[in-house]
Amino acid sequence: MGGPAADYAPFDLVTDPARFGLDTTRVVTALGEVVVRSSFRRTGTTARILLHGAAGSWSTWTPLLAAAEARGRPLTDVVAIDLPGWGSSPFPRSDRHTSVDAYARAVAEVARVLGYTEWTVVGHSLGGFIALHLAAIETRATRSVVLVSPTTFSMMHAAAHPVSGLRTIPAFVGLLTVMRVFSHGGGAASALLRGLREVGLLRRVMAPLFARPRQVPPGVLAALADEIRPLSFSAASTAAARYRPEQHWNLIRCAVASLRGERDVFVRARDDDELRALVEQTGTTTLDSAGHFAHIEVPMRCSTRWRRSSGRPRCGAFRVPTPRGSTPRHPPPRGSTPRAEPRRIRTRRPRSTRTTGRGTRPPCGSRCSSCAGCSRRAHSPSSH
């Protein structure tokens, strides 16, 4: 692929799951039927869950899957979900099932039905929002979280207060207004976008979402036009407006890596600051040459970041990279070594404790006998 221009949006979307060794499964959950594309072959008990955004489906992750293949390290144990109300998954049975908590629990239910006991999760936009809540309610099962252009604090405020939101993220408020207008019009919005595509105007309409709209593959624009779901978008925005992150996200115990496009019109730099303040083990990265769809625009870089995050341990042993000269908030426990590649471990003992000749060892691997709350505090030498 040559220079920077060739590195931008190098892969179009793929709609055939078999291309990446994925099978299509329908899982019945509390929200109704959820359609998921998962790997034919399993290599362990840890899933790689992919959660798309509010204008997409499982196929928006195919550039990331292609990037991993191009690096010679194809992703395994993939669980790419069509969230309820998007893609091939029908809208939830009733509006009371459209809460963030309901979506997250449905994701966990799907993973367990497929036979997985834990997971790393990657979420884009709305999917990142759900990924954070999943990590908060499934602290033992969630090994790490990677957020791609996550719509969080600014979006929550704008959804709850659209007028003041016009000053912060006007693009989102404008889109939300349009979606609410079309929410009771069936497929009118998709039909309108398809009409714009036919007359050559779709790229201009979608331009604010991308850093280099002229270089975006046509299949990406066509998929976004087809996957617009005004009713689902409006319901998810209402759920986000009611959500209280301070009641949930401070419970997260795993590593969180947040990737934000430099030209993202839905996410602000302040969102990163607020996330770091609430979720201690958070690292943030700003990606140049990316807008709101960084996993499509710069999939190679996103794939690299995911690999690094997936290899980090789950408990308080993890230390977030800090600038030179600063003091890390959670020094690693004595004798612990972060695993570079969790896939090398093929079998696992029960996760509550690991029996040794000297008693029991907690899941994080430290020798602290009172490790039940190790994920809430740093290990001190005296505790060992």
- pTM of the predicted model as reported, rounded to 2 decimal places: 0.78
Non-local CB neighbours of 94 within 8 Å, separated by 6+ positions: none
User: Does a structural domain hold residue 92?
Assistant: yes
| Digit-coded pLDDT (tens) for 272-329 | 999 999 998 999 999 999 999 999 999 999 888 776 665 554 444 333 344 444 333 4
- What are 150-196's pLDDT values in tens digits? 999 999 999 999 999 999 999 999 888 888 877 776 666 667 666 76
185 & 247 share domain: yes
Distance CA 53, CA 197 (A): 21
* pLDDT at residue 185, as a whole number: 64
Please check whether residues 79 and 121 belong to one and the same domain. yes
Structural domain contains residue 25:
yes
199 and 103 both lie in a single domain: yes
Does residue 104 lie in a domain region?
Answer: yes
> At 31, which CATH number?
3.40.50.1820
- Asked whether residue 352 falls in the same domain as residue 262, the answer is no
* Domain identity same for 244 and 370: no
DSSP 21: T
Question: Beta strand 282-287 with 255-261: parallel, antiparallel or unpaired?
Answer: parallel
User: Mean pLDDT across the stretch 254-261?
Assistant: 95
Q: Write the CB contacts of 261 (distance below 8 Å, at least 6 apart in sequence).
A: 149, 211, 267, 286, 287, 290, 291, 292, 293, 294, 297
> Does the residue 216 lie in any domain?
yes
- The tokens for 51 are 């959660």
Domain that holds residue 171: 4-310
Q: Are residues 211 and 354 in the same domain?
A: no
Instruction: From residue 363, give the alpha-carbon distance in Å to each of 105, 204, 271, 360, 370.
Output: 23, 51, 32, 10, 12
Q: Which two tokens stand for residue 281?
A: 């083990």
Tell me whether residue 330 is in a domain. Answer: no
Q: What is the pLDDT of residues 360-380, one digit of tens each?
A: 444 444 444 344 444 433 444
